[in-house]
């Protein structure tokens, strides 16, 4: 922490600063009044100029070079954001606990408190099991009070953020059945990360929509924990850079809404006081949330079939990753929850 005038500025480290999540953290933190980036680690790009690797950040970070991913470079910082591929942060976090003020992990390593569930869905035993319980789940709208004063945060996944915020007001109060929920969601290609692969090659992804992770996508248990319900989740990749849309189907319970107006009233009651959730009458669009930390949600009730349809859209790199992580860190640190976070989308 340093003093700038009469203001205490907290110093931030970013691990995985060359990936899409790390790059988005860098973009958003430029405008944060209380947080300042001090160290940017990127193992495979160590020594390289940030501006060369990501020219869009050249004016904001002139002269900054990526550092090796070494715990001693991060010691003493107020906040460290981990934006590494899944499975890597659990090897680094043990060296950071106690040496930094707050750790925020954007990967899935510490989201599931049930170690058996983690092993079943991720196919390996956890490498830091003793630290899992010390992490607080970071979806602010579902657990704001628990985040206050947290020292370790597991930021939620993009699909769980979209699906959970669409359905949570209904599952929370038993307004829909807690089994047989279907979630059909689509993500822009950036959700798969910056590393090149055949499925992200332009010739493969252009003019194509493809489902993946059928029946066993790793975000399924995270969604189920958030909703306290059984879900069948099917994600899709669509040919756009950013954006995510979730269409969720659930059977209305006996105490649930019988009309669309009632369903919308339930969403308004849950979210009208939330700074980053907008309840819309029309089906939400991904472009309306582009570049912002917003989630747009709506719902319909079909009296003919007895099904609720809940929908949401967000920017998978902002509210679904970096923005959601900063929002959770703001709450944990006692800062303004909206600090550094855009509440307007880019349009057109």
Q: What domains does the chain contain, in order, with CATH numbers? A: 2-134 (3.40.50.720), 158-315 (3.30.360.10)
Alpha-carbon gap, residue 346 to 58, rounded angstroms = 21
User: Which pLDDT value is given to residue 191?
Assistant: 74
Q: Provide DSSP, 45-79.
A: GTTSBHHHH-GGGTTTSTT-BPBP--HHHHTT-SE
Nearest to 156 by CA among 143, 173, 174, 170: 143
Q: What is the distance between the alpha carbons of residues 46 and 274, in angstroms, rounded to a whole number?
A: 39
For residue 120, how many other CB atoms are within 10 A of its CB?
Answer: 12
- Cα–Cα distance between 246 and 311 in angstroms, integer? 6
What's the 3-state SS for the chain? Answer: CEEECCEEEEEEEEECCCCHHHHHHHHHHCCCCCEEEEEEECHHHCCCEHHHHCHHHCCCCCCCECECCCHHHHCCCCEEEECCCCCCHHHHHHHHECCECEEEECCCCCCCCCHHHHHHHHCCCCCCHHHHHHCEECCHHHHHHHHCCCCEEECCCHHHHHHHHHHHHHHHCCCECCCCEEEEEEECHHHHCCCCCHHHCHHHHCCCCEECCCCCCCCHHHHHHHHCCCEEEEEEECCCCCCEEEEEEEEECCCCCCCHHHHHHHHHHHHCCCCCEEECCCCCCCHHHCCCCCEEEEEEEECCCCEEEEEEEECCCHHHHHHHHHHHHHHHHCCCCCCCCCCCCCCC
| Catalytic (active site) residue 248 | no
Query: Distance from first CA to last CA of the chain, Å, rounded?
Result: 39
Query: What is the pLDDT at residue 194?
Result: 65
| Candidate list 93, 102, 139, 158, residue with the active-site label | 158
**Bridge partners of residue 252, in order along the sequence:** 176
- How many angstroms from the chain centroid is the CA of residue 192? 13
What is the 8-class DSSP label of residue 153? E
H or E element that contains 168:
helix 158-172
Segment 121-152, tens digit of pLDDT: 999 999 999 999 999 999 999 999 999 999 99
At residue 170, the pLDDT reads: 98
Task: Sort residue 87 into left (φ over 0), alpha (ψ -120 to 50) or beta.
Answer: left
Q: Which pLDDT does position 279 carry in this prediction?
A: 98
Q: What is the pTM of this model?
A: 0.96
Q: Which residues of the chain have pLDDT under 70?
A: 1-7, 192-196, 199, 203
Q: 309-321 pLDDT, tens per residue?
A: 999 999 999 999 9
- What are 5's two structure tokens? 């005038």
């Amino acid at each position: 922490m340093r003093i700038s005038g009469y203001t205490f500025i907290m110093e931030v480290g970013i691990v995985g600063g060359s990936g899409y999540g790390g790059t988005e953290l860098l973009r958003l933190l430029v405008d944060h009044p209380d947080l300042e980036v001090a160290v940017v680690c990127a193992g495979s790009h160590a020594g390289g100029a940030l501006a060369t690797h990501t020219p869009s950040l050249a004016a904001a970070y002139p002269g900054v070079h990526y550092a090796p991913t070494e715990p001693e470079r991060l010691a003493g910082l107020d906040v460290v954001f981990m934006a590494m591929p899944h499975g890597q942060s659990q090897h680094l976090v043990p060296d950071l606990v106690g040496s930094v003020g707050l750790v925020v992990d954007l990967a899935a390593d510490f989201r599931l408190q049930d170690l058996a569930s983690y092993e079943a869905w991720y196919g390996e035993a956890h490498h830091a099991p003793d630290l899992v319980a010390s992490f607080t789940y970071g979806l602010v709208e579902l657990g704001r009070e628990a985040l206050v004063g947290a020292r370790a945060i597991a930021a939620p996944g993009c699909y769980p953020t979209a699906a959970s915020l669409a359905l949570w007001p209904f599952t929370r109060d038993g307004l829909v059945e807690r089994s047989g929920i279907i979630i059909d969601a689509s993500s822009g290609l950036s959700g798969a990360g910056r590393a090149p692969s055949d499925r992200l090659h332009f010739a493969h992804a252009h003019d194509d929509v493809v489902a993946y992770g059928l029946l066993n996508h790793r975000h399924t248990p995270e969604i189920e924990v958030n909703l306290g319900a059984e879900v069948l989740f099917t994600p899709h990749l669509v040919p756009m850079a950013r954006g995510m849309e979730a269409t969720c189907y659930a059977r209305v319970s006996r105490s649930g809404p019988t009309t669309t107006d009632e369903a919308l009233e339930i969403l308004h009651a849950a979210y009208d006081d939330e700074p980053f959730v907008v309840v819309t009458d029309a089906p939400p669009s991904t472009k309306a949330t582009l570049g912002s930390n917003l989630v747009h949600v709506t719902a319909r009730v079909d009296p003919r079939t007895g099904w609720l349809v809940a929908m949401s859209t967000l920017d998978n790199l902002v509210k679904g990753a970096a923005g959601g992580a900063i929002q959770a860190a703001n709450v944990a640190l006692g800062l303004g929850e909206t600090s550094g976070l855009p509440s307007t989308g880019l349009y057109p």
